């Protein structure tokens, strides 16, 4: 199977995780997309333009500029055609639908829906217009790939009355055997202290403020290590907050997947609370760090009424926080000492590795789902 992957952000490690998974299952993947950061992509890819984090208008303009050229560019990129166009996010679905006409043998169009922006949930003019555009594009889409069941039940069904088949592919990492841990550390990183790790795309101001307040209200009991890519358009004072609190340590960005053992090995618990989009995406998603923390032995701290909290309850792991308030976080963490931490980490270590790690079978299942519309077109 030959696949054209249209990526919204070639600097997002998740793009390359998906490519790795598809290639391991036997697909030939050609990549085109937008860049947000300086430097070359991880591997050869057609750069369609430049966008910025959180700048929706700028992103729309970049897509509009790429739109008239997309057929010519993808035809030059894959002159012998493709079987599938996999489009990650709504703007790439629009490009994918337009690019489809570049090929005589109409490829299947697949929409990878892994985040739902807050604007898609509103009742204003822009929100309604974007949902209409998405609905029209869905009418020509053969398959939707999501990472959480809640995206289907909470958005696609009630907002879009979706009839397109949906295939679930959770955000489990696909890792080489050499990186997979063989044992679990049960003791705390630092005796007499709980170390919390906050990793990934750092865009939740509430999380930063809560972790800052938690450490200030409980001097010496908590330490927070932070690694990843801060969204300074959302949290412009991110570095100032870190520098003003000795209990917060920002270690910069990290290389995925090579640095995962190190960053998760440096904490006792993984912070999974997110209030960037409360009532929407933040309540529905199952993020990468749920699976990474599970694999590398860091029990999650999650909000009980969210999809993360429901998954934690199903797996019997982690600490549930009853409400998005600093007092509720303190209440959840207050009983935790060395014995309780050991029990949490032991419970996590007892889970099957398949709960957290993608396998060759997961990649094969995704390819099978992608083949279904191809076979339907050929019939």
- 83 and 216 in a single domain? The answer is no
Give percent above pLDDT 70 in the chain.
98
Residue 127 · residue 120 · CB < 8 Å: yes
Torsion angle defined by CA atoms of residues 100, 35, 15 and 233, in that order, rounded to the nearest 10 degrees: -120
- 66 and 81 in a single domain? The answer is yes
Is residue 197 classed as helix, strand or coil in its secondary structure? Answer: strand
- 18 and 146 in a single domain? The answer is yes
The partner residues of 229 in beta bridges, in order of sequence, read: 201
- What is the Cα–Cα distance from 326 to 315, expressed in whole angstroms? 25
Q: What is the rounded average pLDDT of the residues 75-82? A: 90
CATH number (domain holding residue 21): 3.40.50.2000
- 137 and 194 in a single domain? The answer is no
Q: In the prediction, which pLDDT does 123 show?
A: 94
- 283 and 252 in a single domain? The answer is yes
- 333 and 371 in a single domain? The answer is no
Tens of pLDDT, residues 239-259: 999 999 999 999 999 998 999
- Domain extent for 49: 2-170+359-378
- 156 and 217 in a single domain? The answer is no
Residue 109 · residue 67 · CB < 8 Å: no
Any idea which of 8-17, 65-74, 75-84, 368-377 has the lowest mean pLDDT?
A: 368-377
Q: What is the rounded average pLDDT of the residues 58-79? A: 87
Backbone angles phi, psi at 138, to 5 degrees: -60, -30
Tens of pLDDT, residues 254-281: 998 999 999 999 999 999 999 999 999 9
H-run or E-run covering 251: none
Token pair belonging to 113:
């829906």
Find tokens 């050991």 and name the residue.
342
In terms of DSSP H, where are the helices of 1-77?
A: 13-24, 56-66, 70-77
- 236 and 340 in a single domain? The answer is yes
- 159 and 239 in a single domain? The answer is no
Backbone angles phi, psi at 73, to 5 degrees: -70, -40
Q: What is the rounded average pLDDT of the residues 70-78? A: 91
Give the predicted TM-score (pTM) of the model. 0.92
Report how many domains make up the chain: 2
Q: In the prediction, which pLDDT does 54 show?
A: 61
Number of other residues whose CB lies within 10 A of the CB of residue 111: 26
Confidence of residue 377 (pLDDT cuts 50, 70, 90): low
Write the DSSP assignment of 91-158 as a string of letters. HHHHHHHHHGGG-SS--EEEEEE----GGGG--SHHHHHHHHHHHHHHTT-SEEEES-HHHIIIIIHH
- What is the Cα–Cα distance from 179 to 250, expressed in whole angstroms? 23
Number of other residues whose CB lies within 10 A of the CB of residue 279: 11
- 281 and 369 in a single domain? The answer is no
Q: In the prediction, which pLDDT does 99 show?
A: 94
Is 59 a residue whose pLDDT tops 90?
no
Is 155 a residue whose pLDDT tops 90?
yes
Tens of pLDDT, residues 46-55: 999 887 766 6
Contacts of 203-206 with C-beta under 8 Å, sequence gap 24+, read 203/54, 203/230, 203/231, 203/234, 203/235, 203/276, 204/273, 204/274, 204/275, 204/276, 204/282, 205/234, 205/235, 205/276, 206/273, 206/275, 206/276, 206/324
Backbone angles phi, psi at 161, to 5 degrees: 50, 50
- 244 and 228 in a single domain? The answer is yes
- 6 and 115 in a single domain? The answer is yes
């Amino acid at each position: 199977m030959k696949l054209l992957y249209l990526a919204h952000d070639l600097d997002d490690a998740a793009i390359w995780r998906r490519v790795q998974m598809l290639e391991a299952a036997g697909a030939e993947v050609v990549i085109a997309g937008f860049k947000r950061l300086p430097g070359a992509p991880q591997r050869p890819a057609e750069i369609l333009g430049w966008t910025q984090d959180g700048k929706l208008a700028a992103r729309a303009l970049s897509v509009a500029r790429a739109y008239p050229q997309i057929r010519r560019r993808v035809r030059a990129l894959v002159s012998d055609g493709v079987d599938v166009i996999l489009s990650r996010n709504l703007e790439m679905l629009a490009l994918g639908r337009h690019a489809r006409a570049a090929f005589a043998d109409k490829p299947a169009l697949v929409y990878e829906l892994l985040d739902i922006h807050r604007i898609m949930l509103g009742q204003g003019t822009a929100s309604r217009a974007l949902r209409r555009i998405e609905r029209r594009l869905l009418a020509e889409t053969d398959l939707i790939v999501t990472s959480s069941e809640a995206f289907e039940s909470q958005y696609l069904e009630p907002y879009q009355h979706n009839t397109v088949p949906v295939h679930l592919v959770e955000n489990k990492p696909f890792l080489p055997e050499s990186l997979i841990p063989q044992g679990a550390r049960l003791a705390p990183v630092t005796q007499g202290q709980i170390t919390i790790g906050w990793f990934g795309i750092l865009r939740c101001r509430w999380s930063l403020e809560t972790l800052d307040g938690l450490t200030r209200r409980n001097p010496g009991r908590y330490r927070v290590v932070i690694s990843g890519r801060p969204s300074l358009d959302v949290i412009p004072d991110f570095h100032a907050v870190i520098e003003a609190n000795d209990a917060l340590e920002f270690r910069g960005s990290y290389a995925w997947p090579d640095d995962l053992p190190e960053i998760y090995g440096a904490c006792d618990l993984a912070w999974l609370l997110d209030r960037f989009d409360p009532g929407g995406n933040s309540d529905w998603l199952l993020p990468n760090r749920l699976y990474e923390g599970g694999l590398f032995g860091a029990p999650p701290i999650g909000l009980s009424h969210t999809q993360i909290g429901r998954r934690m309850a199903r797996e019997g792991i982690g600490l549930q926080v009853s409400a998005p308030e600093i007092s509720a976080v303190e209440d959840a963490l207050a009983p935790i000492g060395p014995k309780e931490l050991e029990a949490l980490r032991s419970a996590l270590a007892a889970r099957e590795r398949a709960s957290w790690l993608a396998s060759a079978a997961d990649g094969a299942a995704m390819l099978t789902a992608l083949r279904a519309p191809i076979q339907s077109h050929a019939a």
